Structure 1
Amino acid sequence: MTASSIQTLTQRRVLPVGESGSLWMTRPSCGIFEFRGMHLRLEVADPTEVLFPTDCGLSLIDALNEESAPDLEGVNALDIGAGSGLYSVALLAAGAERVTALDINSASTAQTVANVLSNGLDVTRLTCVTSPLEEYTPGEQFDLVITNPPHLPHDPSYARADGLETALVARGGGRAMYNAVIEQMDTLLAPGGTLLMAHSSLADIPRTVQEFTGHGYKCSTLKIFEMDIPLLAYAEHKDTMLGLLKEQRAAGRAEFEGSRFTVHALMFQRPHTASPQR
């Protein structure tokens, strides 16, 4: 399946160029978003430690407002790359029984807890874990996994040891976290469970779809969004990053035009029977 064929599954929502087209109702240090009839508030104390969610991450929230989105009531969910707690807050507000917020960045815990509390949600239903995904061993499987992996290609010239780096940039041409999710999913997701993913067109959507469908997962697209590549934080390295992305595009591993790309809100459903061994 190609990225182009995936795009035909649903109408694309085009966000205008620049900040005026943001999915956020208010932003940037404190944002309010609507989710299933609720107005939820998200704040980031220090954006250098924990990135305030971009439209890439918020796109999945928007897609989950669609009628085709899964029921979240009573689920035991895992939020991979929880960051500021955007998805954890939304899931708990929608009635999730339990949410585990996993992030490699230790600063994520305090920010996620603060945002759960500020929205009047039951923090006893939240568990925060600081660990790389590859080393996480929960001892249980989840009904639902949700994630917005980092998707910009890594380069030593703009590498930085902070929350921005872990949220936006990944090795392997931006695919490192996608690959880790694919590798770990049969361990983390219960048979019949659902994986929700905001997938950037900069990081080879067809490869991810092929990997999952090849192991029996059913893939569907909830919504597609077109928006600006998040280059503001890397303004002085824009040419380097775009150069890497152009290399990825030439190799058939990225799709974008100028500074515009797409984010696909994807839903993967694991079969109830065991998947073939990876």
Structure 2
Amino acid sequence: MTHALIRTLPRRRVLPAGESGSLWRARPSCGIFEFRGMRLQLAVEDPAEVLFPTDCGLSLIAALNGDDAPDLKDVNALDIGAGSGLYSVALLAAGAKRVTALDINPASAAQTVANVVTNGLDATRLICVTSPLEEYTPDGKFDLVITNPPHLPYDPSYARGDGLETALVAREGGRAVYDAVVERMDTLLTPGGILLMAHSSLADMPRTVAQLTGRGYERDTLEIFEMDIPLLAYAEHRDTMLGLLKEQRAAGQAEFDGSRFTVHALMFQRPIDPPGH
């Protein structure tokens, strides 16, 4: 799989504050989204077990509707942190040959399969794996990897540690999964393959870009979305979370203004030849 990255000024979409600016038409357990001319449905049976995708995750879907997005037909794809199957459904609907949905939450697999079936897609092209990314050993490499890592900083006062919470909160200043993705990418992605990532400005995006471009990956920004930090979900611990984020901002590891931050729909292409060859 090859794709020529086009370096143009990225689109910027500002989502109004509050639910009226949501990319979803309905929340929090069922929604309709449009993807490449198709109307697709996503639902979660129990929002206490599987997180219904936030606008942070849906932003990458919106960006992939643009003219600069890669071709998804016939790709062998890995969906890291599959959750309810948002990306797996979209990829299969767009003609992916096979999608592997990887998530640490055991409830993710059943919900992903249910959403694939609900949309009339071929579930035989879906493989669900319950495993931490660090322990996952695939049979081969993928043409495309897609992910929306958790991006909120960890604190024991609000981090429960279950599968639902790990969709939002990560250790190491919200970077634990970002770092794991970067670390594993050469073993997961075929040369010339594409990594698609919804990257929060709260989790030191320049570090991710520097790590991958330093290994020869080309980077493009498909679109930038401005939205609210999801503080309503952590109302009791709002001050604690904002305090951690302000510390990270002071250290140059987070960017936000008040309660607004940005999500960058990033596309990286692995070099066909290692740097220096």
Task: Decide: shared fold, TM above 0.5.
Answer: yes
Equivalent residue, structure 2, for 1:134: 134
Equivalent residue, structure 2, for 1:233: 233
Task: Write the distance in 2 (CA, Å) between the matches of 1:86 and 1:44.
Answer: 11
Supply the AA of the counterpart residue of 2:232.
L
Supply the AA of the counterpart residue of 1:126.
L
Task: Write the distance in 1 (CA, Å) between the matches of 2:19 and 2:179.
Answer: 31
Equivalent residue, structure 2, for 1:203: 203
CA displacement 1:71-90 (0-9 Å, x = unmatched): 00000000000000000000
Task: Write the distance in 2 (CA, Å) between the matches of 1:246 and 1:164.
Answer: 25
CA contact (8 A) 2:105 2:164 kept: no
Equivalent residue, structure 2, for 1:67: 67
Q: What's the offset of the Cα at 1:29? A: 1.1
For structure 2, which runs of at least 5 residues remain unmatched after alignment?
Answer: 1-7
CA contact (8 A) 1:25 1:31 kept: yes
Q: How does 1:125-164 map to 2 (within 5 A)?
A: 125-164=125-164
Equivalent residue, structure 1, for 2:243: 243
Give the TM-score of the pair, scaled to structure 2: 0.95
Q: Which of structure 1's runs of 4+ aligned residues deviate more than 6 A?
A: none
Task: Write the distance in 2 (CA, Å) between the matches of 1:154 and 1:52.
Answer: 20
Q: What's the offset of the Cα at 1:166? A: 1.0
Q: How does 1:1-278 map to 2 (within 5 A)?
A: 9-274=9-274
CA contact (8 A) 1:48 1:163 kept: no
Task: Write the distance in 2 (CA, Å) between the matches of 1:230 and 1:145.
Answer: 26
CA contact (8 A) 1:133 1:180 kept: yes
CA displacement 1:195-231 (0-9 Å, x = unmatched): 0000000001111000000000000000000000012
| SS at 1:263 equivalent | strand
| SS at 1:128 equivalent | strand
Give the TM-score of the pair, scaled to structure 1: 0.95
| SS at 1:265 equivalent | strand
- Percent sequence identity over matched residues? 81
| SS at 1:203 equivalent | coil
CA contact (8 A) 1:48 1:162 kept: no
CA displacement 1:100-126 (0-9 Å, x = unmatched): 000000010000000000000000000
| SS at 1:79 equivalent | strand
Residue-pair matches, total = 269
